[in-house]
Amino acid sequence: MDPSDLLAIHALIARYGHVVDDADWERLTDVFSADGVFDLDAIGRGVATGTEQLRACFAELDHPVAHHTTNVVVDPAGDASARVRSKYLVVFGDGRTGTGEYRDDVVDGPDGWRIRRRTVVPPRTRPSRDHPES
């Protein structure tokens, strides 16, 4: 994958947090493709597909005041697509925090890189570090 594509994908992942923290639902098209999917099934919030459903979904959610994304790993999945895995940290107005993982399918189209599907994966329990004795 070309380094400029990697930088563009990292910028896309960062842009998401700014758009959501600004509550600028019109700019969701700067982040998601027209057929984009936001999958919140794992946290009981369903799936939104397409620009109008995405805007309605984001307008209804009780968002934290800040979204931070880190540990971004990009795996090319074709000429104009990639899979991205990242960790998120969110901060709520009362000081609580939350964490989890985003799993994204991203595509390069006429408007640049966009998220085609974002799946929210809540935190899981840490795997045991105990190793069975041989």
pTM: 0.89
Tokens of 110: 């006429």
Query: How does residue 134 score in pLDDT terms, banded at 50, 70 and 90?
Result: very low
> Where do the domains of the chain lie, and which CATH numbers do they carry?
3-121 (3.10.450.50)
Tokens of 76: 């090319």
Q: Give me the pLDDT at residue 94, please.
A: 95
Average pLDDT over residues 120-128: 75
Average pLDDT over the chain reads 93
